[in-house]
Structure 1
Amino acid sequence: MDFNQNELITHFWNAQIYTIYALGYYFAQMSIQQQKDIALRDREIAEQKIALAEKEAKIAKQELEIAILAKEKALAEMAFLRAQINPHFMYNTLNMIFERVRKASREAGDIVIAFAEMMRYATSTKSQDDEVDLQGEIDFVKQYIDLHLQRYHYRVYIDFEEEGDFSYHRIVPMILITIVENGIKHGIFDDPEIAFTINASLIDEFFVFTAKNKKNPYPNFINDTGQTGVGIENIKKRLLTTYPAEAHSLEIIDGDEDYTVIFTINFNLLRK
Structure 2
Amino acid sequence: MDQPVNATRPGFSARHLAYHALAWTVFILYELSIVFYVSDTRLDHAWEYIGYYALNMLLFYTTSQLVLPLAFRKKGRLYLLLLLVPLQLSGYILLEYGLEHLYNTLRSFPRQVTLNQRFVVGFIWRGTYFFGLSTTFWFVWRTLQHQRRISRMELRQLEGARARAELEKDLATAQSAYLQAQINPHFLFNTLNFIFNQVQEGAPKASESVLLLAEVMRHSLTGVQADGKTSLSAEVSHLRHYVSLNQLRFRFPLYIQLDVQGVTGNYRLPPLLLLTFVENIFKHGDLTDAASPATVQVACRDGWLHVATQNKTRPFPPVQGFGIGIRNVRTRLERLYLSHEYRLDIREDDGNYYLNFQLKLL
Partner in structure 2 of residue 74 of structure 1: 174
Q: Any conservation in 2 of the 1:67–1:237 contact (CA below 8 Å)?
A: no
Q: What SS does structure 2 have at the residue aligned with 1:103?
A: coil
CA distance in 2, matches of 1:62, 1:256: 42
Provide the C-alpha distance between the structure 1 equivalents of 2:224 and 2:328, rounded to a whole number of angstroms: 19
1:235-250 counterparts in 2 under 5 A? 235-250=329-344
Whether 1:106 and 2:204 are equivalent positions in the alignment is: yes
**Greater displacement, 60-69 / 128-137:** 60-69
Shift of 1:194: 2.3
- Aligned residue runs from structure 1 range 155-166, under 5 A: 155-166=253-264
- Within the candidate set 282, 289, 298, 1:184 is matched to 282
Mean Cα displacement is larger for which, 256-265 or 89-98?
256-265
Q: CA deviation at 1:98?
A: 0.8
| Counterpart check, 1:29 vs 2:56 | yes
Contact 2:205 2:248 in 1 (8 A): no
Give the aligned residue type for 1:266: K
The superposition leaves residues 148-170 of structure 1 with CA deviations (integer Å, 9 ceiling, x where unpaired) of 12223561110111121331111
Q: 2:312 aligns with which of 197, 211, 214?
A: 214
Cα distance per residue 1:137-189 (max 9 Å; x no partner): 11101111111122235611101111213311111111111221111101102
Residue 260 of structure 1: aligned partner: 354
Structure 2: runs of 5 or more not aligned: 1-47, 70-137
- How far off is 1:119 after superposition? 1.2
Distance in 2 (CA, whole Å) between partners of 1:232 and 1:107 is 32
TM-aligned CA distance change 1:210 to 1:62, over 3 Å: farther
Equivalent-residue separation in structure 2 for 1:57 and 1:246 (angstroms): 26
Give the 3 Å change call, closer, same or farther, for CA 178–151 of structure 1 in structure 2: same
* Alignment pair present for 1:172 and 2:270: yes
Name the residue aligned to 1:147.
245
Q: Percent identity?
A: 26
Q: Assess if the C-alpha contact under 8 Å between 1:196 and 1:214 holds in 2.
A: yes
Q: Return closer, same or farther for 1:53/1:103 CA change in 2, 3 Å cut-off.
A: same
**Deviation per residue, 1:194-225 (Å, 9 max, x gap):** 211111111001112222221112369xxxx5
CA 1:173/1:51 → structure 2, altered by over 3 Å: closer, same or farther?
A: same
Query: What's 1:63 paired with?
Result: 163
Structure 2: distance between partners of 1:249 and 1:117: 30
- Distance of 2:171 and 2:350 partners within structure 1: 33
TM-superposed CA distance for 1:261, in Å, is 2.8
| Cα separation, 2, equivalents of 1:164 and 1:157 | 24
CA distance in 2, matches of 1:65, 1:245: 23
Runs of at least 5 residues in structure 1 that lack an aligned partner in the other structure: 1-20
Cα distance in structure 2, aligned partners of 1:72 and 1:260:
34
Q: C-alpha distance in 2, partners of 1:45/1:129?
A: 48
Q: Residue type matched to 2:169 in 1? A: L
Which residue in 2 is equivalent to 1:14? none
Distance 1:122 1:184, change over 3 A: same
**What residue number does 1:251 align with?**
345
Contact 1:186 1:219 in 2 (8 A): no
- Go from structure 1 to structure 2 and tell me whether the alpha carbon gap of 1:45 and 1:199 turns closer, same or farther (over 3 Å shift): farther
Distance 1:128 1:191 in 2: 42
Relative to 1, partners in 2 of residues 1:36 and 1:74: Cα closer, same or farther, differing over 3 Å? farther
CA distance in 2, matches of 1:144, 1:184: 10
Amino acid at match of 2:235: E
Partners of 1:160 and 1:207 lie apart in 2 by 15
Q: Quick one: distance in 2 between partners of 1:198 and 1:182?
A: 12
**Does structure 1 conserve the Cα–Cα contact (< 8 Å) formed by 2:300 and 2:306?**
yes
Pick aligned residue for 2:190 from 92, 107, 120: 92
- Residue type at the aligned position of 1:231: G
Aligned partner letter, 1:144: Y
**Cα distance, 1:70 vs. partner?**
1.8
- In the comparison of the two structures, how many residue pairs are matched? 242
State the distance in 2 between where 1:64 and 1:210 align.
Answer: 34
| Aligned-residue CA RMSD (Å) | 3.3
TM-score calculated relative to the size of structure 1: 0.74
